[in-house]
Amino acid sequence: MSAATLDAHVTAPAGEGRIGLRANLRHIGALARRNLLQIKQDPESMFDAVLMPIIFILLFVYVFGGSIAGKGNEEVYVNYLVPGLMAMMGMNIAMAVGSGVNEDFKKGVMDRFRTMPIARSSVLLAKIVVEMGRMLIATGILLAMGFALGLTVKTSVLHLLAAVGLSMVFGASLMWIFILLGLTLKTPQAIQGVAMLVLMPLQFGSSIFAPTQKMPGWLEAFTDYNPLSNLADAARNLVNGGAVAHSVWMTLAWSAGITLVTAPLAVSRFRSKT
């Protein structure tokens, strides 16, 4: 989308002191369209959303499934693994937001946006809207692969949709962290390096891939407070049946807390970044 076209979408009346909700939503829509056009021009940017769920489910089911569930019982492990991987999709997709924001600043695109009469948050919210779409695609591919490998929903379709929705909410909150990193660190490589240092312990020190009961005591205690474990357990019980209240509320609390802390910091950093 050209700068002139974008201006036509987001120009506000002269002298307007406060941008209303309707105008803000219109600006978010225009900026989200611009981000979608970027993906259309660079379809390789969808490779992570399309290929990552396929690679992860095949890798873990056939490498670890026999060891964890017993040889020949890989289908049992599929029902354990897939809801857990839904929790992991959000973290991995969220990394792209920080790199994208960082690159837009380097290209001068963000400076152009900051001269427009639009809410500063709308630029960042548009990024999140598009990345949530990518996350939904990745989750859909993950579930399709899961059903092909023997995943069964033992509750209902509504419970499955609730698990997907919970994963999306948590993933959206994580995007604010990566946006803040993208606005703070100097290069996309630095963002990815810091992200991996944080993500690896969180992912593997959780209940995503294996039950935590046989872990060392100190690691099992860590998994109890790990938000990824709460999300994985919530999604797993929503799909397979079981108590969900505690893990769902813990996931929602983590999501709200992360957003309330990092979203204002990200918007403030966006305003002041030079």
pLDDT digits (tens, 9 = 90+) for 169-198: 999 999 999 999 988 888 888 888 888 888
Indicate the domain borders of the chain. 19-272
At a CB cut-off of 8 Å and minimum separation 6, what does 245 contact?
A: none
Query: What percent of the chain has a predicted confidence (pLDDT) above 70?
Result: 91
pTM metric for this prediction = 0.84
Confidence of residue 70 (pLDDT cuts 50, 70, 90): low
| Lowest-pLDDT range of 144-148, 214-218, 265-269 | 214-218
| CB-based burial label for 6 (10 Å; 0-12, 13-18, 19+) | buried
Q: At residue 125, does pLDDT exceed 60?
A: yes
Segment 221-248 shows an average pLDDT of 91
> Nearest Cα to 171, choosing from 96, 87, 49, 52?
87
Confidence of residue 10 (pLDDT cuts 50, 70, 90): very low
Per the prediction, the chain carries an average pLDDT of: 84
Segment 36-45 shows an average pLDDT of 81
At a CB cut-off of 8 Å and minimum separation 6, what does 250 contact?
A: 227, 230, 234
Segment 197-211 shows an average pLDDT of 86
Give how far the C-alpha of residue 163 lies from the chain's centroid of Cα atoms, to the nearest Å: 14
Segment 14-22 shows an average pLDDT of 57
Choice between 73 and 263, residue whose per-residue pLDDT is larger: 263
Segment 245-255 shows an average pLDDT of 94
